[in-house]
Amino acid sequence: MLDLAQHTIYRVQSDEDYSLNPSLFDRTNETFSAFDYILKQGYDKWLITFSGGKDSTLTLVLALEYILKNPGKVKRIDIVYSDTLLEIPSIHEFANKFLCYIKISERLNHIPINIHIVYPELEERFWVKVLGKGYPPPHQKFRWCTKRLKIDPCEKAMNEFMIPNETAVLTGVRFGESNSRDQRLNASCSRGGECGQGLWFEKSKSLKVGYLAPIINWPVCEVWDYLIGFAPLLGYPTGSLKKVYNGHDTRFGCWTCTVVKQDKAMARTIKQKEWTHLQPLYDFRNHLWESTRPRETRVLRKDGTVSKIKIEFRKKILKELLSIQDITGSQLISIEEIKFIKHLWNIEKSNS
């Protein structure tokens, strides 16, 4: 088994230039000490929410490496990947390949790993809400998407196998990601969470499970150092993440996301040769936002304020979406969703 102490760890400056990064060994030991801590608290069943992003990937790799070095201590590890069906294709492809690697890796086949890929309920999916029910695309004042598409399916799955006082949820949150996240982490500590010396741990009184952020103090540069410079030596296919991100400050969401003003992640994705054919998705996202903003595309309430998207415009959007699906060769909406959307249209027509 490869060990950090037996290999020189590098900080990646460019594709050709590497310089020594001795602090990575200490950072990894800090994370492993956090794992020791929760095991002493009795949390020997671990649950990891995986997105395919750098932080959740690092959290998962470190957890697996710890378990390999401490066989028998962790009784079960559940990995939950919440697929919104709208993931940016490059990150979606990486996530699936990474989970596939975990399934077939001989190094990991003795670990009690359970992989769960979850999806939104049919009636809660993005296109059902927008095209079937007329929801306007999400924005800062009406961010209806995240809970329905990602959080609820994930929590439903987690609740099925969380065991009170035995399950710890490992998250990839880190200080320094954003001011708002730092404030939430500090607030958690002030409410009784264990924090300091590389550790952030909190017990849920209602669910009786633990929440651990094992990479809480990892700076972004060292996250990349491990994923690009060391994890591939262990066999993990994380070296490609650098290309997937195409810039270390990229933040991924859905390709349809209209909460942000500009989708930088998708813009960077389509600049890469293998993803240029997805330019129509980027253009459609902008078109979706702009075409559903005017009052003439919306039903008006009695007080004159805008409500849902008119059904004739929803039909137009579906037609355009199907055209882009044919052009790109990527499934953007399922037959099941289309049938349910048309069912909702018939109900709406009969009630009007």
Lowest mean pLDDT among 17-21, 122-126, 322-326: 17-21
pTM: 0.86
**pLDDT tens figures, 174-198:** 975 544 444 444 444 444 444 444 5
Query: Quick check: 262 pLDDT over 70?
Result: yes
The fold of 4-131+142-239 is Rossmann fold (3.40.50)
Dihedral (Cα; 156, 161, 166, 169), 10-degree rounding:
-40
At 121-157, the pLDDT tens digits run 999 999 999 999 999 999 888 999 999 999 999 999 9
User: Which part of the chain is CATH 3.40.50.620?
Assistant: 4-131+142-239
Helix residue ranges, H only, 76-175: 89-104, 126-127, 145-146, 152-161
How many Å apart are CA 292 and CA 289, to the nearest integer? Answer: 6
Helix, strand, or coil here: 12?
A: strand
User: What whole-number percentage of the chain has pLDDT above 90?
Assistant: 72
d(CA 161, CA 114): 11
